[in-house]
Amino acid sequence: MPAITILRRPMNTQVSSDNPGWKGRGAPALGKLLSRDVLTTAKLAARGKWSTSWHMALEVAANTGNFHVWPMFRSSRECPCCGYVGKSFVATANWRAVSYQSRCPQCDSRSRHRGLVMLLGNVLADLPDGELLFFAPELILLRWLSDHSTLKIVTTDYNSADVDYSGEDIQQLSFPSESFAAILCNHVLEHVPDDRQALMETARVLKPGGVAVFTIPGDYDKQTTRHFDTPDGNGHFRHYGLEVVDLMRSAFPKVETIDMGAQCDPKFGVRRGDMAFVCRK
């Protein structure tokens, strides 16, 4: 069985128990936006990287407006991960798209983190006693879970040693069956060569009555999953469509598909179409 090649790093490694304050990258300063970011946009255009350049130009315009030109006309935004209250989240861009109202200036959370925090309070209620196994843990969510979940949180990562169980391959876990009351697996399946086997393994180690929550990147207005012969630049083996629900149903008796953005107040900046898959056994 092939090994996992890439798992995502925790997104904000500056937060630690030694430094409990949030260390997000902050709101973009006007000077940086109008000098370095504009220059970077022009350089990208000069190198023919039109898509990235255009998206970055839109990002600079959005952040200049939202934080420095018209913030007084904006309604408040709130981050449920860290408690930030302000006039905007930060727009971010790459070659593929611009994400408006994306990064929290205080904790660096993105839409899916804020959506999960709004969702998990209900999803993690009424579970069997036991532990929550968190794959490839992100510190923003780990910190929120530590404060809000009654379950003991244990962490695992294929690549990182800074977890409770290092080197676990989600396609072939070493844990006995029915070990965990809950599982959280956030943006991992797309990095795994055999996602069907990964789902079977997570179902195996989940206790009866337990819940496993997955988020994975995809276009969920489409049915079909696009598979790549070799992983793309982000280490993804596939870009999911809604047919992934059928795959999950082959491993779990109950699968609920939740559009986190549709369920949240817009002030939390959770994008419509950011899906969570809630699987129960």
Of the candidates 205, 258, 193, the one whose C-alpha atom is nearest the C-alpha of residue 230 is 193
95 binds Zn ion (CB under 5 A): no
101 binds Zn ion (CB under 5 A): no
Question: Could you tell me which stretch among 54-62, 76-84, 204-212, 269-277 binds Zn ion (CB under 5 A)?
Answer: 76-84
Question: Could you tell me which stretch among 44-52, 108-116, 175-183, 250-258 binds Zn ion (CB under 5 A)?
Answer: 108-116
Q: Give the CA radius of gyration of the chain.
A: 20
44 binds Zn ion (CB under 5 A): no
Question: Could you tell me which stretch among 12-20, 66-74, 86-94, 96-104 binds Zn ion (CB under 5 A)?
Answer: 96-104
**Smallest distance from the beta carbon of 83 to Zn ion, in angstroms?**
7
**Smallest distance from the beta carbon of 105 to Zn ion, in angstroms?**
8
**Smallest distance from the beta carbon of 264 to Zn ion, in angstroms?**
14
Helix, strand or coil for residue 126? Answer: coil
107 binds Zn ion (CB under 5 A): yes
Exposed / middle / buried, residue 29 (Cβ in 10 Å: 0-12, 13-18, 19+): middle
For Zn ion, give the closer residue by CB, 78 or 219. Answer: 78
79 binds Zn ion (CB under 5 A): yes
For Zn ion, give the closer residue by CB, 143 or 281. Answer: 143
106 binds Zn ion (CB under 5 A): yes
15 binds Zn ion (CB under 5 A): no
Exposed / middle / buried, residue 174 (Cβ in 10 Å: 0-12, 13-18, 19+): exposed
Dihedral sign for Cα 100, 105, 110, 116, please: negative
63 binds Zn ion (CB under 5 A): no
**Ramachandran bin of 72, using left for φ above 0, alpha for ψ from -120 to 50, beta for the remaining angles:** alpha
**Smallest distance from the beta carbon of 103 to Zn ion, in angstroms?**
9
109 binds Zn ion (CB under 5 A): yes
**Smallest distance from the beta carbon of 164 to Zn ion, in angstroms?**
25
104 binds Zn ion (CB under 5 A): yes
**Smallest distance from the beta carbon of 116 to Zn ion, in angstroms?**
13
Place of tokens 């861009």: 93
142 binds Zn ion (CB under 5 A): no
For Zn ion, give the closer residue by CB, 81 or 199. Answer: 81
**Smallest distance from the beta carbon of 24 to Zn ion, in angstroms?**
6
Sites of contact with Zn ion (CB under 5 A): 79, 81-82, 84, 104, 106-107, 109
